[in-house]
Structure 1
Amino acid sequence: MEKPREWLREKSIAKKILSEANVIFEVVDARIPLETRNKVVEQLSKERNKEIFIILNKTDLVPESFAQKAKSIIEKEYPVVLFSARKNTGKKELENIIKNLSKKKKIIKIGVLGYPNVGKSSLINTLKRKKVATTSPKPGMTRGEKLIKLDKNVYLIDTPGIITLEFQDELAVKGSWIPDKLEDPVDASVKLLEKIIKNRPEAVEETYGVKPESDPYKTLEKIGEKLNYRMSGGSVDIKRTAKKVLWDWIKGNIKAYWL
């Protein structure tokens, strides 16, 4: 299985942003905050002495106690803001951070970085108070970086999702790869279900009305049966079921989360 070729291009984008920005807002998915932290971005930022803030986005998809637990872990390294574009929470806190930063430096350029589909564009639109960045549940919708003026001396740099050297199915589990572009959506879906069954098995029943098996592949089959996804001949269309599960994960329909 190929590792994404985009990696080299995107690493160079990350380096370019990091040379232009003096502050980094790293956006992570609150459901899987540790898995969506981009260690390459953090390492490159550290090497260049950039101030980093971790924005835990999509907090509306997790319980408050879980978000707080994730915050307390990450805060040992970097300041954390709990944010939800949908619920408009954390906006005031971010605005205060930006206000304080603008007092320190003449021109502030904030690089907004993170994996595809963690909600960078939603964050930018919330801060700008209007739609300036493309939002879509499809990972990878932002093409090329854009400079967005927020205030007289504050700019945001909107970037495409930065992926690191990982396999497609690993990225799909992070919600950062379009299911339809996967070589093997079944494999990715089984890996995702394995994590969901381990961490919050009741999410399977809540979403699909089936009790999960300990075997994630059998669980996928049960979901396909319940959805009545059939191939000619009557057997379960496992590929179609796998894509459905992956899309449901990307769209936030499956209420699962883990550290």
Structure 2
Amino acid sequence: MKFLSLYEVSQIINRCDAIIEVVEARNPISLIDTRIEKIAKRMGKEIILVLSKSDLVPRNICLEWQEYFRDRGIVAICFSTVIKSSISRFKRFLVEHIEKRPAYYLLIGYPKVGKSSIINALKGYKSAPTSPYPGSPGYTKGVQLYLITPGIYIIDTPGVLPPITNDIEVTIRRQPIEMIENPVKIAITLIERILSFDVNTFRNIYRVHSTEPIEILRELAYKKGWLMKKYREPNIDEVARNIIRDYLNGKIPFYTSPRSILDDVKVFKPK
């Protein structure tokens, strides 16, 4: 992952008319970068928050998040590339939202939140490089400009600001899965969070019986036949990476709601 400096981000924001910050509808709070909002506020630029992959959460949950952010002065839009009406609504919003032409929207967000897919959906064909996992071939190499519709452009950035949080949502996106040094530790944290959402999730998805994170990894390794050649011990590192991939791909059900977060979560609120 390429990291940008605050100066670089500020320069790009200064060139745009508004900012589209993309976060996942499953857990938007964890993927918001408050530094972007602070820079935008200082420069008088509006933030439009896109709750991507909204098809992975119940509709009422996405609407609750919209209301949550609206109460804090932030426009939030539920978006899914698999729901055609969602694409057309968002495109119409971008066209109608800014009066002057040409208009430039900066698209920003962590890897694997769906930025390239949004560009592709808005243009109607594959115009932005996409890749299944962060850091793999196809990852954006430099700042790119895309014409969405006459007079409306999207600026895509080559990276993000260095993470300032250790939240699991950011951790699993900051580098390619194959380069994660301790995938078991990270997967255990992710599994614990998912189990707190639904204790039967891994039983339903993988047909394993344990509800203890390390035992889920071991049981799944035996089930898949992923064993270390020399000692025939379960290869839990590989299973851990597989669970992280499945989560990023939306295979493992999980989502948060405004009701499930603490009241003191630090989200930018314009004055």
Give 2:78's match in structure 1, choosing from 69, 78, 82.
Answer: 82
Q: How far 1:35 sits from its partner (Å)?
A: 1.0
1:91 aligns with 2:102: no
Helix, strand or coil at the partner of 2:154: strand
Distance 1:114 1:87 in 2: 21
Name the structure 2 match of 1:130. Answer: 125
Distance 2:144 2:209 in 1: 46
Q: Is the 8 A contact 1:82 1:89 kept in 2?
A: no
Q: Which amino acid aligns with 1:94?
A: F
Q: Is the 8 A contact 1:85 1:126 kept in 2?
A: yes
Q: Is the 8 A contact 1:139 1:178 kept in 2?
A: yes
1:118 aligns with 2:113: yes
Distance 1:185 1:73 in 2: 33
Q: How far 1:161 sits from its partner (Å)?
A: 4.2
Distance 1:115 1:130 in 2: 22
C-alpha distance 172-247 of structure 1, shift in aligned 2 (>3 A) = farther
Q: How does 1:45-56 map to 2 (within 5 A)?
A: 45-56=40-51
Q: Which amino acid aligns with 1:44?
A: I
Distance 1:25 1:157 in 2: 10
Q: Is the 8 A contact 1:172 1:178 kept in 2?
A: no
Distance 2:70 2:91 in 1: 19
1:220 aligns with 2:217: yes
Give the TM-score taking structure 1 as reference length: 0.88
Helix, strand or coil at the partner of 1:53: strand
Q: Across the two proteins, how many residue pairs are aligned to each other? A: 252
1:71 aligns with 2:51: no
Distance 1:209 1:175 in 2: 27
Give 2:232's match in structure 1, choosing from 231, 234, 238.
Answer: 234
Give the TM-score taking structure 2 as reference length: 0.84
Distance 2:239 2:149 in 1: 46
Q: Is the 8 A contact 2:172 2:244 kept in 1?
A: no
Helix, strand or coil at the partner of 2:31: coil
Distance 1:21 1:149 in 2: 14
C-alpha distance 13-249 of structure 1, shift in aligned 2 (>3 A) = farther
Name the structure 2 match of 1:185. Answer: 183
Gaps of 5+ in 1: none
Q: How does 1:1-259 map to 2 (within 5 A)?
A: 6-7=2-3, 9-77=4-72, 78-102=74-98, 104-140=99-135, 141-166=139-164, 170=168, 173-213=171-211, 215-232=212-229, 233-259=231-257
Q: How far 1:83 sits from its partner (Å)?
A: 0.7
For residues 198-256 of structure 1, what are the alpha-carbon distances to aligned partners after superposition, in whole Å with 9 as ceiling and x for unaligned? 1233321222111342x422322222232221112221111111111111112211111
Q: How far 1:175 sits from its partner (Å)?
A: 4.1
Q: Which amino acid aligns with 1:218?
A: E
For residues 71-128 of structure 1, what are the alpha-carbon distances to aligned partners after superposition, in whole Å with 9 as ceiling and x for unaligned? 22222231111110123342222222222234x2232100011111100111111111
C-alpha distance 45-244 of structure 1, shift in aligned 2 (>3 A) = same
Gaps of 5+ in 2: 258-271
Helix, strand or coil at the partner of 1:54: strand
Q: How far 1:155 sits from its partner (Å)?
A: 1.0
Q: Is the 8 A contact 2:31 2:169 kept in 1?
A: no
Distance 1:96 1:65 in 2: 22
Distance 1:237 1:152 in 2: 53
Helix, strand or coil at the partner of 1:34: helix
Q: Is the 8 A contact 1:38 1:164 kept in 2?
A: no
